[in-house]
């Protein structure tokens, strides 16, 4: 009877998996319908998002089937009999070894459960934002930029996005300054003008203004790590480049940093809901008009 119950549980799990796949396909179809066929950039992003969601679902299903197999009723009894027989043949060392294997398996299952929960949260955030805040923000930005004959130039979300967006804009002007150079110059500029920047930085735990040591550490991270850049770093860069920097956003007027300079502004796009996981900067490029199909 125990084996039959185990088989029944596996059948239930397989039915659940089929339903989840069907539900995901319905969501994917809805997402596809929301993106115009002639919008190649959004279609490409959609294809990547869909592949990621399908892959994550397949991995989760494989893990659940593996966990189900390991939890089949009857196995503990077989193992206990086997342990007893082995004990008679080989002494007390084998039961100790079996206990260690069991603990290792528990650790693996716990790790898998944590990773599954994290992946599920990411997948849910992706689906929610494709149909919600992220999608709306992208539409608003596309409209704002199209009025200037511009479109978003996608920048990787790796902690360097603000600097990469500036780097891209400079290359469009035949200025091949590198990401590394931009970071180092920004850190040096801020370190040499502590009074202009330190008062705007606070410790997230205490709420107090940064100490000198904390500020030095902050500048070191600006130069040497993928630390996210924001308005303070944009202020420093506008002075370094002696060029205004325009920040376009979906729900507010553009912000101009470094208005005292007369050059044509560098333009970047600030997104609050990019990837469903946090804030992000993109660059811009000339709008490519695709003929209607």
Shared domain check, 52 and 162: no
- Domain end marker among 102, 131, 160: 131
Residue 144, domain member (yes or no): no
Q: What is the pLDDT of residue 58?
A: 81
Shared domain check, 273 and 154: yes
Q: What is the mean pLDDT of each run of 10 residues along the chain (293 residues)?
A: 50 82 77 66 74 81 78 48 39 48 77 76 59 78 94 92 97 95 98 96 91 96 95 97 96 94 96 72 88 56
Shared domain check, 110 and 177: no
Q: What is the pLDDT of residue 36?
A: 64
Shared domain check, 164 and 119: no
158 belongs to the catalytic site: yes
- Please give the Cα distance from 102 to 113 (Å, whole number): 16
Shared domain check, 222 and 123: no
Residue pair 283/268 in contact by the 8 Å Cβ criterion:
yes
Shared domain check, 158 and 272: yes
Residue 138, domain member (yes or no): no
- Domain end marker among 131, 162, 191: 131
Angle between helices 231-241 and 161-171 (to 10 degrees): 30
Q: Which of 49, 119, 160, 161 is catalytic?
A: 161
Alpha helical stretches, state H, the chain = 2-33, 40-70, 75-90, 93-131, 133-146, 161-171, 179-191, 194-197, 212-224, 231-241
61 belongs to the catalytic site: no
Residue 61, domain member (yes or no): yes
Q: What is the pLDDT of residue 14?
A: 82
Residue 52, domain member (yes or no): yes
Shared domain check, 8 and 38: yes
pLDDT digits (tens, 9 = 90+) for 219-239: 999 999 999 999 999 999 999
Please give the structure tokens belonging to residue 176: 């091949």
Alpha helical stretches, state H, 147-255 = 161-171, 179-191, 194-197, 212-224, 231-241
Shared domain check, 247 and 170: yes
Closest CA to 275 of 138, 143, 144, 120: 138
Q: Which of 89, 158, 174, 195 is catalytic?
A: 158
pLDDT digits (tens, 9 = 90+) for 176-192: 999 999 999 999 999 99
| pTM of the model as a whole | 0.56
Number of domains in the chain: 2
219 belongs to the catalytic site: no
Residue 153, domain member (yes or no): yes
Shared domain check, 276 and 155: yes
Q: What is the pLDDT of residue 86?
A: 40
Shared domain check, 156 and 109: no
Residue 154's domain is classified under what CATH number? 3.90.70.80
Residue 198, domain member (yes or no): yes
Residue 223, domain member (yes or no): yes
Shared domain check, 241 and 174: yes
Residue 136, domain member (yes or no): no
Q: Which of 160, 168, 273, 280 is catalytic?
A: 280
Q: How many helices (H) and strands (E) does the chain have?
A: 10, 5
Q: Supply the range of the domain harboring residue 100.
A: 2-131
- Domain end marker among 96, 131, 166: 131
Shared domain check, 170 and 58: no
Going by the DSSP 8-state scheme, the letter that residue 274 receives in this structure is G
């Amino acid at each position: 009877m125990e084996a039959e119950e185990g088989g029944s549980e596996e059948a239930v799990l397989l039915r659940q998996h089929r339903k989840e796949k069907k539900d995901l396909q319905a969501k994917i179809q809805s997402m596809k319908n929301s993106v115009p066929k002639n919008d190649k950039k959004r279609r490409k992003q959609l294809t990547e998002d869909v592949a990621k969601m399908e892959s994550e679902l397949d991995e989760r299903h494989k893990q659940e089937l593996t966990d189900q197999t390991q939890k089949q009723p009857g196995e503990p009894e077989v193992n206990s009999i086997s342990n007893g027989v082995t004990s008679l043949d080989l002494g007390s060392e084998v039961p100790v070894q079996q206990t260690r294997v069991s603990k290792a398996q528990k650790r693996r299952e716990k790790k898998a459960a944590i990773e599954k929960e994290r992946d599920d949260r990411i997948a849910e955030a992706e689906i929610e934002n494709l149909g919600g805040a992220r999608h709306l923000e992208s539409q608003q930005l596309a409209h704002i930029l199209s009025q200037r004959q511009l479109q978003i130039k996608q920048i990787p979300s790796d902690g360097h996005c603000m600097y990469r967006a500036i780097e891209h804009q400079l290359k469009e002007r035949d200025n091949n300054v590198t990401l590394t150079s931009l970071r180092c110059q920004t850190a040096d500029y801020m370190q040499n003008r502590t009074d202009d920047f330190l008062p705007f930085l606070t410790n997230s735990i205490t709420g107090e203004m940064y100490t000198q040591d904390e500020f030095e550490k902050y500048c070191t991270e600006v130069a040497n790590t993928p630390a996210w850049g924001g308005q303070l770093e944009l202020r420093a860069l506008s002075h370094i480049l002696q060029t205004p920097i325009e920040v376009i956003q979906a729900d507010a007027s553009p912000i101009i940093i470094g208005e005292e300079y007369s050059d044509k502004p560098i333009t970047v796009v600030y997104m609050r809901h990019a990837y469903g996981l946090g804030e992000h900067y993109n660059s811009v490029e000339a709008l490519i008009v695709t003929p209607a199909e």
